[in-house]
Amino acid sequence: MRISLSSASLYFYPLRRIFALAKDTGYEGLELALAPGVFPQHMSHVQRLSQEYDLPVLTLHPPMVPIPGRAEHHKLLPQMIPVARQLGCQFVIIHVPKAPALSEGVGQEYVAAVEACVEEMKEGSPRLCLENQAVFRPGDREYALSTPENLRRFADQHDLGVTLDTAHAGSFPYDLLEAYEALGSRVVNIHLSDFRQDLSIPPWFNLHSYFKHHQLPGQGDLALVPFLEHLRREAYDGIVTIEISPFALEAWFPWRARAKLRRCLDFVRGVLG
């Protein structure tokens, strides 16, 4: 098992600083979230930084902030696959579609994109990995792949990995251990962060993502210690990716962000050993 840092935690930092912080604080890899300055034409720069800091890019994630022409993540897959291969990533992560059915409209487009991606990646790495749905608005519970059971069936059907995001699970809410058991061996990556259930704010994506989701472990309502203890007992051997809101890290104070990143790593290692 390796503990990775999502570059989305420091989304507006220069990429060199993200690599340096991840290395200095003891992380074993990086999840690269695509951003305005991190797209296919910039991958040689990413490769140089990965080699310079001896820090592999383990996973590739779609943009965290909506970018014109790149809002629908499944449409990015043809660009992401060669990038992931170039960087030697294990997994390409994609969110499940905001679609009530997979037989029409966006849902149908999503399935076709996934099937094409799976066909292209038959010969080896990287592997496509689905991330569980978050709830930002009440209607988000109605999407076709919103539950762990539906997600597991789809992953089984297409032989996909699953990224279990703990904050997203908390937003439904459903029990972390039950979700992990339902998803079973499909879980190959975990986005670890806390979730503040009691915080009442308008249903705007950015507000929820920054201030309710992706909080520091121990500063929300999730039972993360029992969850990590279960992973230890189950001998989980996938990736644990720390994905924290820049606001929770107080990223505008680099020394505080550094201390909090180290605290997150110590939290996980303190339980997993």
Burial class (CB in 10 A: 0-12, 13-18, 19+), 98: middle
Percent of the chain with pLDDT over 90: 70
| pLDDT at residue 200 in the model | 66
Question: What tokens appear for 26 in the block?
Answer: 């003891």
Instruction: Give bridge partners of residue 266 from the DSSP assignment.
Output: none
In this structure, the number of other CB atoms found within 10 A of the CB of residue 74 comes to 20
Question: What tokens appear for 194 in the block?
Answer: 């806390």
Instruction: Write down the H helix ranges in the chain.
Output: 15-24, 43-52, 77-87, 105-120, 148-158, 166-171, 176-183, 205-211, 224-233, 246-249, 254-272
Rounded to whole angstroms, how far apart are CA atoms 192 and 166?
A: 6
In this structure, the number of other CB atoms found within 10 A of the CB of residue 230 comes to 16
In three-state secondary structure terms, 57 is strand
**CA 131, 185, 78, 85 torsion-angle sign:** positive
Q: Picking from 2-16, 141-155, 186-200, 253-267, which range would have the lowest pLDDT averaged per residue?
A: 186-200
**CA 208, 211, 216, 218 torsion-angle sign:** negative
Determine phi and psi for 55, rounding to 5 degrees: -135, 110
Task: Output the CA–CA distances (angstroms, integers) from residue 82 to 3, 59, 250, 272, in the order listed.
Answer: 24, 13, 34, 34
Rounded to whole angstroms, how far apart are CA atoms 212 and 72?
A: 23
Q: What number is the average pLDDT over the span 233-257?
A: 95
Percent of the chain with pLDDT over 70: 89
Give Cβ neighbours of residue 224 (< 8 Å, ≥ 6 apart).
166, 176, 192, 194, 217, 218, 267
pLDDT tens profile 93-122? 999 998 999 999 999 999 999 999 888 887
Longest dimension (CA), the chain: 49
**Residue-range domains of the chain with CATH:** 2-272 (3.20.20.150)
Question: Over the chain, what is the mean pLDDT?
Answer: 89
Q: What number is the average pLDDT over the span 42-53?
A: 91
Check: CB of residue 67 under 8 Å from CB of residue 78.
Answer: no
Given a cut of 60, is residue 70 above it in pLDDT?
no
- Supply the pTM of this predicted model: 0.93
pLDDT tens profile 76-92? 888 888 899 999 999 99
Q: How confident is the model at residue 11 (pLDDT cuts 50, 70, 90)?
A: confident
